Structure 1
Amino acid sequence: MRLLDTKDTEKLRVQEFSQRYIPSYAILSHRWDEDEVTFEDIKNGDFKQKKGFAKLEGCRTRARVDKYDWIWVGTCCIDKSSSAELNEAINSMYRWYQESAVCYTYLSDLEEIDSLDQSRWFSRGWTLQELIAPHHLLLFDMHWRLLGTKTEHVDEIARITDILRDVILGHRYPGSCNVAQRISWASKRETTRKEDMAYCLMGLFDIHILPMYGEGSENAFLRLQQEILKRTSDQTLFLRTASHEPYNQGLLATSPGAFCTHFECFSWLPPYLAMYDGFWRPYASLIPSNYTPRSLDYDEQTATYSDDHPVYVQSAFGPNGLQ
């Protein structure tokens, strides 16, 4: 793992640390823009004219104020010319954010007075795990003014992202949520490289697959689901919404977008079962059978949601998933 030195105010310097000893570090979460400072730029000493240099200086300054000597920044701490290093970084990303002392979330398109939902940071694929994994997350506007912590803004973040409050706060392990619900958190998000819509979900499922850029988004997402199937018997993986993939004749979805949370796509689910934390959360009530006594079981044409009182929901497996 490479970390960027925050102490040296004259130049940028990255240092590699072995897994045995990694110092306490801050980590940056941001939306990648054009002309970011890369590892190659730092190695060549050619970075001050880059637009992304101001962002690096901002996060390093904040880290110094908070007494952190090191910070991890994805744009410049990974040597992307090495496929092996890039693979390791992608598969380690969730853990790196989880083990950070603090995560600085830089909202480059937001002024202090704006509401959080105006930032595109909440619509990007990789920022999903960057929101959930850190225990301590600070939000900053474009001028590096502190907006608060994710704890202080949890209700607004939950509304924007459809993620459960307890998951955002770290009070609930993401793995306790069913598969469909976790995928649905990415259903409205986008990535620059299409395959990343699958790769950015690996950490939420604690699985590892080899990134293969060029394989296409559908193949990448199918590989992700196949790996999930090896790890769990949670049948909500098949609970995709057919209206978003009308020509898909397979059992597995081709993109996270098939796990939408649109009200009209859940006419088969009693509305009172879809409310959670005061929000419409259609997947939250469907608890995988391998987790708790509450389960969603499929028996011929009837799906049974059982708690103290069973509720029978008419559904069936068809060429377009669960109807």
Structure 2
Amino acid sequence: MSWLPPPSLESFDRYVMNDIPIRLIRLSNMKFVGRDDVKKHFRSSVPPGRDWNYHPSQTVKYAILSHRWLDEGEPTYEEMKNDKATGLGYEKLKNFCEKAQEYDVEFVWSDTCCIDKSSSTELDDSIRSMFRWYRNSTICIVHLAQSETLNLMMSDEWMERGWTLQELLAPQRIKFYNKHWMPLTGDRNDKSRESIEIFGILQRATGIPSEDLHAFYPKAYHRVDERMTWAARRRTTRVEDVAYSLMGIFDVSMQIAYGEGGERAFSRLTEAIMKAGDPSVFNWKGSAASHHTSRAIPQSPQSFVGHPNLGLPTTRRMQLEMTMTSLGLRVPLVLFPLHPRSRTVLGNGYERIVFDCPLCPTIKLDITALQVIMPRPEYHHYALGIVNYSLRHDGSREIVQVQCRSVGLILMRTSENAGATTTCTLEPNALVGLKVINPPEKTFKQWGILHGVGLVKVDFMSVPNESSFYIDREHLEVVYL
């Protein structure tokens, strides 16, 4: 039996109750309406039966506002509910509503007044759903309160705020207005490919490639490192919002917990992103999050600034299995031992280390890392952990496919004199069935990422980029970072 789409009315009902804002403003009377009211308003416009080409967004139309909040005077939910909204913020809302009417919509949404912020449940729901609400809008109207012309857009504060990043990327249609509510272009949709001039300005102001500005797709397994740099130049009033404002961009969800602090919120975001397995989440440098058990978690989006373009594949075949545990981030890596051939102190807490690889003489790594205090160099071991490998089956066993031009982490672990540990003398047959051995001379702590390095490029041999080779699965080792 062939698959059939659900009835159009069923799709419409599910969409209204889940994928549009909790409440909207009706333009005809400036009153709040809930989802049930919206459903009644549009229900007669839903085509009957099952329509392959129907999507509820074709029926449910609303405009959404993107703007920089005033320091004070924005209309609140309670003021709008009780018809007491006044001042500059309310004037801005009315100007937005006037422009929205030009797009033939009956409903609008603004983050200043359409969320009951006294309800923690509603606030949590709204923050986690906001990307989707902007995505599903008929038009996103952007008010640039500091700009009069296109050339002044570059320095407008709207370009520097955290929440406006998703408000730029999420909508499929967007329109920019200047401080006087005059359109900045003659285009009806400033995201159309005809808006060449404004896109050049947006690229320079945000660092976002043109293709992402035209049509952005939220993913957690695709170019995490690059997308983090888009947020690095932005700021938020609440430190936790640095992380919360990125959930939609990476298509992840987490509970809102204001008061936890910016670093903890960003750590939780990173953990959620890691579940998708994109290796580029390791492509950062600097100090790790101070409170976290794992040293693989960065402090903020700024940690990703200056990352090299590694050309990592974005296919799911190259995803890493990552699991956060009480021992750290559990991840299987292809390990190659490294030998430090030379070390040079550079100052400012950094050193230069040149590595050889005993198993692959063609590998020569020259890296700059945070200086490691080494009273006994022989007690330190290093390894290269390849992240962009894939598992294959040859019919009888599992083998590992490694790209000839790979990307990996520099790992370090320390050993300790295990023989110095107090051991007991056992009576004969004290442990029946166990083979007791002498204590080892050294035991090793778990692997950790060499601080201040991030991901590095590795050329196993000079061959085309897509070339690869196969090795035994014994080289794949589970580590806790």
Same fold (TM over 0.5): yes
The amino acid that maps onto 1:57 is K
- Which residue does the alignment assign to 1:234? 278
1:258 corresponds to which of 291, 297, 303: 303
Identity over aligned pairs, percent:
33
* CA contact 1:167–1:174 (8 Å) conserved in 2: no
Aligned to 1:273: none
- Cα distance, 1:173 vs structure 2: 2.2
What are the within-5 Å matches in structure 2 for residues 98-117 of structure 1? Answer: 98-112=135-149, 114-117=151-154
Where relative contact order (Cα < 8 A, 6+ residues apart) is larger, the structure is: 1
Q: Say which of 454, 463, 466 aligns to 1:322.
A: 454
Backbone CA RMSD of aligned residues:
2.7
Among 6, 26, 33, the alignment partner of 1:5 is: 26
Distance 1:250 1:305, change over 3 A: closer
SS at 1:105 equivalent: strand
Bigger proportion of residues as helix: 1
Change (3 A) 1:241 1:26: same
Q: How far is the alpha carbon of 1:116 from its aligned partner?
A: 1.6
Give 1:128 shift. Answer: 0.8
Distance 1:36 1:290, change over 3 A: same
Larger Rg: 2
Q: Deviation string for 1:274-323 (max 9, x for gaps)?
A: xxxxxxxx36x333452679xxx9754376889xx954678623134615
Q: Helix, strand or coil for the counterpart of 1:180?
A: helix
Give the direction of change, closer, same or farther, for the CA distance of 1:312–1:91 in structure 2 (3 Å limit).
closer
Rounded Cα–Cα distance in structure 2 between residues aligned with 1:6 and 1:181: 40
Report the alpha carbon displacement of residue 160 of structure 1 after superposing the two structures with TM: 1.5
Unaligned runs of 5+ in 1: 270-281
Alignment partner, residue 276 of structure 1: none
Q: Distance in 2 between matches of 1:28 and 1:160?
A: 20
- The question of 1:44 aligning with 2:89 is answered no
Which structure 2 residues correspond to residues 119-268 of structure 1 after superposition, within 5 A?
119-148=156-185, 149-151=190-192, 152=195, 153-170=198-215, 173-175=217-219, 177-230=222-275, 232-242=276-286, 245=287, 250-260=295-305, 262=306, 266=307
| 1:208-240 Cα deviation digits (max 9, x unpaired) | 11110000001101111111222x111211211
Tell me the amino acid that sits aligned with residue 26 of structure 2. D
Q: Distance in 2 between matches of 1:165 and 1:319?
A: 34
CA distance in 2 between partners of 1:30 and 1:62 (Å): 14
How far apart, in 1, do the equivalents of 2:199 and 2:315 lie? 29
**C-alpha offsets along residues 77-104 of structure 1, whole Å, 9 cap, x if unaligned?**
1000000000010011010000000100
Q: 1:93 to 1:113 in 2, by over 3 A?
A: closer
TM-score by length of 1: 0.81
| Residue pair 1:25, 1:68 contacting (<8 A) in 2 also | yes
Give TM-score, length-normalised by structure 2: 0.56
In the TM superposition, residue 182 of structure 1 has moved relative to its aligned partner by 1.8
- Is the 1:87–1:210 contact (alpha carbons within 8 Å) kept by the matching residues of 2? yes
Report the 3-state secondary structure (helix = DSSP H, G, I; strand = E; otherwise coil) of the residue aligned with 1:84. Answer: helix
Contact 1:31–1:107 (8 Å) recurs in 2: yes
SS of 1:224's equivalent in the other structure is helix
Matched position secondary structure for 1:147: coil
Structure 1 residue 15, shift from structure 2 partner = 1.1
Which whole-Å CA distance do the structure 2 matches of 1:30 and 1:215 have between them?
Answer: 26
* Cα separation, 1, equivalents of 2:182 and 2:265: 38
Change (3 A) 1:155 1:113: closer
Partner amino acid, structure 1, of 2:138:
A
Structure 1 residue 123, shift from structure 2 partner: 0.8
Which structure has greater strand proportion?
2
Stretches of structure 2 lacking an aligned partner (at least 5 in a row):
1-21, 43-59, 320-332, 337-383, 390-402, 411-448, 456-481
Q: What's the secondary structure of 1:146's corresponding residue?
A: coil
Q: 1:53 aligns with which of 90, 95, 100?
A: 90
Contact in 1 for aligned 2:172/2:191 (Cα 8 Å): no
